[in-house]
């Protein structure tokens, strides 16, 4: 049971706290207003972001449909003896698609709609055999969405485009970025090492190719890509291009 002295201390503490609150009630009210305003602001921001995300996806859906129409029209225009109106129709669709995709990429920075818009723009350039342009756009996509799952896929596409452009060094650079930044999370990493080995071979760097192939043996022994790497090493040894 509390003593008289303890009871007195409790009353004194309560009186002191009451006095503190009473003298500073304006400050407490002001603080409460700040907290409430902050919560309201947070709700508004979250709702705005949600609305912005939804709007971006609606616009992206329209661009996806434009892209599908352009791909079909472009395939028809690429056929031998395609009519002039078919070719001009494909060019008109491309102009509209490019304009809308560029606007989407510019307006929705950091959102999925931007990433997909960049991918569409790169794919358009690749289909037109503008490989350097395509590689650059895919690289931009990877940089702007560096922490997203789309980044390593974009770099793989960039590597393929650089190869088509006749620049294996830049292709290898894109692939190395995948190994440096996504080695623990990217499911297609065995293919990346095989591609690096193949590019090293194509540029006469046979020992470097062997190093990449050995990474497959060490880190991904059960992968089907590892079997291909094993075959490549045997071939290089038979041709006396690498040591046994």
Beta carbons of 111 and 53 less than 8 angstroms apart: yes
Burial of residue 232, with CB atoms counted within 10 A of its CB: 0-12 exposed, 13-18 middle, 19 or more buried: buried
Please report the pLDDT score of residue 97 as a whole number. 97
What count of other Cβ atoms lies within 10 Å of the Cβ of residue 141? 27
Q: Per the structure, how many domains does the chain have?
A: 1
pTM of the prediction? Answer: 0.79
Residue 206 lies in a domain: no
Please report the pLDDT score of residue 243 as a whole number. 84
Q: Which residue from 133, 172, 132 is spatially nearest to 156, judged by alpha carbons? A: 172
The upper half-sphere exposure of residue 109, i.e. CA atoms within 13 Å in the direction of its Cβ, equals 3
CA 155 to chain centre: 9
pLDDT in tens, the chain (244 residues): 455 555 555 555 545 545 544 555 444 444 444 444 444 443 433 344 568 999 999 999 999 999 999 999 999 999 999 999 999 999 999 999 999 999 999 999 999 999 999 999 999 999 999 999 999 999 999 999 999 999 999 999 999 999 999 999 999 999 999 999 998 888 999 999 999 999 999 999 999 999 999 999 999 999 999 999 999 999 999 999 998 7
Residue 240 lies in a domain: no
Please report the pLDDT score of residue 178 as a whole number. 96
Tokens of 180: 């440096």
Tokens of 139: 């690289």
Residue 90 lies in a domain: yes
Exposure string of 182-206, with b = 16+ CB inside 10 Å and e = fewer, is: beeebeebbbbbbbbbbbbbeeebb
Range of the domain at 59: 55-128
Residue 109 lies in a domain: yes
């Amino acid at each position: 049971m509390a003593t008289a002295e303890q009871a007195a201390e409790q009353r004194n503490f309560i009186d002191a706290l009451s006095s503190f609150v009473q003298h500073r009630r304006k400050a407490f009210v002001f603080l409460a207003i700040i907290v409430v305003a902050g919560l309201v602001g947070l709700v508004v921001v979250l709702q705005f972001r949600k609305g912005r995300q939804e709007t971006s996806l609606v616009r992206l859906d329209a661009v996806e449909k434009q892209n599908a129409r352009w791909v079909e029209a472009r395939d028809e225009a690429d056929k031998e003896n395609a009519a002039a109106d078919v070719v001009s129709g494909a060019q008109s669709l491309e102009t509209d698609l490019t304009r809308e995709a560029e606007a989407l990429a510019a307006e929705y920075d950091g959102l999925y709609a931007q990433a997909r818009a960049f991918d569409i723009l790169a794919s358009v350039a690749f289909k037109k055999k503008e490989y350097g342009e395509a590689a650059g756009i895919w690289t931009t996509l990877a940089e702007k969405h560096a922490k997203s799952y789309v980044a390593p896929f974009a770099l793989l596409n960039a590597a393929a485009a650089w190869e088509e452009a006749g620049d294996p060094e830049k292709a290898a650079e894109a692939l190395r970025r995948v190994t440096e930044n996504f080695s623990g999370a990217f499911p297609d990493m065995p293919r990346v090492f095989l591609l690096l080995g193949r590019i090293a071979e194509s540029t006469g760097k046979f020992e470097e190719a062997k190093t990449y192939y050995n990474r497959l043996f060490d880190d991904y022994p059960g992968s089907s890509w590892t079997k291909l790497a094993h075959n490549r090493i045997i071939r290089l040894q038979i041709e006396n291009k690498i040591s046994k």
